[in-house]
Amino acid sequence: MQTLFPKRLTPSAFSPFGDVLSFDPDRSRLVNDGRALRFDTDTRFDHASPDGRPVLAVYRASGGPLPMRLSTFERHPLSSQTFVALSVERFLIVVAPEDQTGLPDLDRAEAFVGHRSEGVNYARNLWHAPIAAIGPDGDLLMFMWESRSPEDCVFHHLQEPLVVGSIQSSAE
């Protein structure tokens, strides 16, 4: 059984898989009569279906401790997918590039820990584990384009679970 150890979510570490979303005060501007700062991310939502429509949903993620056993990966061939932590304190992000057969390459999988007020934008067609809270249950905001076809979400069930181990001190 393969074990991954999660690392801290940073833009550079996550860049092969998509974008990290968080507030950058150095790149923000004053708006709303001076009562707010606005930061426009560089993230662009990618979608390939002309029939798709934007969907904004709130996920209540079940929490649990690490180590965590993962048995399913999914991907979205028609759209990037974004999650932003609303009330969840920490959440698990596990991604894997595609192997030569089109399935998740678990030997190159990586795990990250996101925190409240952070988010990720998974690249279109990227294999990833379903979103999970670390610790207590919590809410995340999800955005993607959906066409209401089977290609919106493709699942792959692993023959043997992938284990995500305890958080290393640098990932806290």
**Residue 167 banded pLDDT, cuts 50, 70, 90:** confident
User: What is the predicted pLDDT for the residue at 169?
Assistant: 54
**What is the longest distance spanned by two Cα atoms in the chain?**
56
**Distance (Å, whole) CA 139 – CA 85:** 6
Measured in whole angstroms, the distance separating CA 168 from the mean position of its chain's CA atoms is 19
pLDDT digits (tens, 9 = 90+) for 118-150: 999 999 999 999 999 999 999 999 999 999 999
Q: Which residues, 6+ apart, have CB-to-CB distance to 146 below 8 Å?
A: 52, 53, 55, 78, 79, 152
pLDDT digits (tens, 9 = 90+) for 44-102: 888 988 888 999 999 999 999 999 999 999 999 999 999 999 999 999 999 999 999 99
User: What is the predicted pLDDT for the residue at 51?
Assistant: 85
45 or 170, greater pLDDT: 45
What separation in angstroms does the CA of 12 have from each of 21, 44, 79, 164, 170? 12, 17, 22, 21, 15
**Residue 172 banded pLDDT, cuts 50, 70, 90:** low
User: What is the predicted pLDDT for the residue at 54?
Assistant: 93
DSSP 70-100: EEEEEE-TTB-EEEEESS-SEEEEEEE-B-T
Question: What is the CATH architecture of 3-171?
Answer: Sandwich (2.60)
